[in-house]
């Protein structure tokens, strides 16, 4: 099945913290249940930056990064049914065991032996990537590879807003952070029909948020969300607050508990790096604030989000700001890390511009 392929491919390999090198590697063998994908679009992610900086421990070094991607099926293993060469697809990067307590109770995102393409297994900062056939999700016609490549972020935000947050039409929702995951949460909450306020310190991210339908924008270099909340919510507080900042700070957690209404819900979606984080426990008790974590997504949520994109319920184009060739992966990470040149999501195109 792999007759017309070259032997080797270009790949960018994270060898150790702060060291990503260009390599020419053998194209991976396709096992009986695998599919080989020609990578058309690989979105760079904040997790990639953390892995590169040595702050994210869930990587097996050396590794080809790249866990958010879409492409074209080039070869399929002997036992694979229903997937053929030429299929346009995106790929769910999390591989669950299917056997643990959580997999068996429909919470695969909590699997105790999770593997992750692009973190524990080689990913898509490469011309080709091998994936288990079960991870392949067909791209609807009319959905570009670039949009397909951000389904991981979108589905994670959808899970946080829809399943964990239980956001409903008419609710007032605050989202702290207008990075890629915060913007996807905005798109999800708007798709549900909520009124959404979003805060960030970066002007161009807030511009993208406005384009993506935010009802209120808070530039925290000028005023805090807590200062604006009474005016935005008519003094009632937000029904739901989605924390999408994380990192080594924890001020957003305290703010979330101050701006949520009595009995409201705070969803922690940001990835926190500090040892310990504080919450105002007495407010949590007195106001019956519900604090929930959101991580990953459920099976089938890539397809669910793709259907919403197809029908125009979700528009992610404003956050797909740059497309760069494979060899510029490090430059792309730097642009995102330094929040410069308007970079929100930078998309690698390892096989040249896909145009779609």
**CB of 165 or CB of 296, closer to Zn ion:** 296
| CA-based nearest residue to 115, from 90, 93, 137, 89 | 93
**CB of 49 or CB of 303, closer to Zn ion:** 49
Q: How far is CA 32 from the centre of its chain?
A: 29
**CB of 101 or CB of 223, closer to Zn ion:** 101
**CB of 76 or CB of 117, closer to Zn ion:** 117
Give least dist CB 112 to Zn ion, A.
6
Give least dist CB 87 to Zn ion, A.
23
Give least dist CB 103 to Zn ion, A.
3
- What DSSP string runs through 183-247? HHHHHHHHHTT-EEEEEES-HHHHHHHHHTT-SEEEETTT--HHHHHHHHHTTS-EEEEEE---B
From candidates 1, 5, 87, 100, binder to Zn ion by CB under 5 A? 100
103 sits near Zn ion (criterion: CB under 5 A): yes
Q: How far is CA 97 from the centre of its chain?
A: 21
**Which x/- pattern, by CB under 5 A, does the window 45-84 give for Zn ion?**
x-x-------------------------------------
**Which x/- pattern, by CB under 5 A, does the window 104-143 give for Zn ion?**
-------x--------------------------------
Give least dist CB 305 to Zn ion, A.
14
Is 24 an annotated catalytic residue?
Answer: no
Is 30 an annotated catalytic residue?
Answer: no
Diameter of the chain by CA atoms?
A: 67
Give least dist CB 93 to Zn ion, A.
8
Give least dist CB 292 to Zn ion, A.
21
Residues in the chain: 356
Q: Is 289 helix (H, G, I), strand (E, B) or coil?
A: coil
Query: Alpha carbon of 256 to those of 29, 63, 87, 197: distances in Å?
Result: 48, 36, 43, 13
Distance between CA atoms of 199 and 181, rounded to whole angstroms? 13
The strand pair at 19-26 and 260-268 is best described as: unpaired
Q: Which of residues 28-47 bind Zn ion (CB under 5 A)?
A: 45, 47
252 sits near Zn ion (criterion: CB under 5 A): no
**CB of 47 or CB of 301, closer to Zn ion:** 47
Give least dist CB 114 to Zn ion, A.
7
Size of the site for Zn ion (CB under 5 A): 7
From candidates 97, 271, 279, 287, binder to Zn ion by CB under 5 A? 97
Which candidate in 2, 3, 50, 311 is catalytic? 50
Q: Which of residues 222-251 bind Zn ion (CB under 5 A)?
A: none
Among 89-97, 201-209, 216-224, 324-332, the segment contacting Zn ion (CB under 5 A): 89-97
Which candidate in 47, 153, 233, 321 is catalytic? 47
Residues 6+ apart with CB under 8 A from 118: 48, 63, 64, 65, 66, 67, 68, 69, 93, 124, 125
Distance between CA atoms of 254 and 85, rounded to whole angstroms? 51
Query: Alpha carbon of 191 to those of 184, 212, 218: distances in Å?
Result: 10, 11, 21
Q: How far is CA 224 from the centre of its chain?
A: 26
Burial of residue 109 (CB within 10 Å: 0-12, 13-18, 19+) is buried
**CB of 149 or CB of 265, closer to Zn ion:** 149
**CB of 290 or CB of 299, closer to Zn ion:** 299
Which residues bind to Zn ion, rule: CB under 5 A? Answer: 45, 47, 96-97, 100, 103, 111
Active site members? 47, 50
């Amino acid at each position: 099945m792999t007759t017309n392929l070259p032997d080797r491919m270009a790949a960018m390999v994270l060898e150790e913290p702060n060291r990503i090198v260009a390599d020419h590697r053998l194209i991976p063998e396709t096992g009986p249940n695998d599919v080989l994908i020609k990578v058309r679009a690989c979105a760079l992610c904040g997790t990639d930056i953390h892995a590169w900086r040595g702050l994210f421990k869930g990587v097996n070094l050396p590794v080809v990064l790249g866990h958010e991607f879409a492409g074209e099926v080039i070869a399929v293993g002997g036992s694979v049914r229903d997937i053929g060469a030429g299929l346009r697809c995106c790929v769910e990067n999390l591989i669950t065991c299917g056997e643990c307590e959580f997999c068996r109770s429909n919470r695969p995102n909590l699997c105790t032996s999770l593997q992750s393409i692009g973190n524990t297994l080689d990913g898509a900062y490469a011309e080709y990537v091998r994936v288990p056939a079960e991870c392949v999700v067909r791209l609807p016609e009319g959905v570009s590879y670039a949009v397909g490549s951000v389904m991981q972020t979108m589905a994670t935000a959808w899970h946080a807003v829809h399943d964990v947050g239980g956001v409903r039409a008419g609710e007032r929702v605050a989202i702290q952070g207008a990075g890629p995951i915060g913007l996807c949460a905005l798109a999800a909450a708007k798709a549900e029909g909520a009124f959404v306020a979003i805060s960030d310190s970066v002007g161009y991210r807030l511009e993208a948020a406005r384009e993506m339908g935010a009802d209120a924008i808070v530039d925290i270099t000028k005023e805090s969300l807590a200062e604006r909340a009474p005016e935005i919510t008519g003094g009632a507080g937000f029904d739901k607050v989605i924390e999408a900042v994380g990192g080594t700070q924890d001020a957003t957690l305290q703010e979330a508990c101050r701006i949520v209404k009595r009995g409201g819900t705070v969803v922690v979606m940001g990835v926190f790096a500090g040892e310990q984080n504080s919450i105002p426990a007495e407010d949590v008790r007195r106001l019956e604030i519900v604090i929930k974590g959101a991580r990953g997504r459920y099976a089938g949520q890539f397809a669910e989000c793709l259907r919403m994109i197809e029908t125009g319920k979700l528009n992610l184009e404003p956050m797909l700001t740059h497309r760069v060739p494979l060899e510029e992966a490090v430059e792309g990470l730097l642009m995102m890390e330094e929040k410069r040149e308007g970079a929100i999501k930078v998309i690698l195109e390892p096989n040249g511009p896909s145009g779609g």
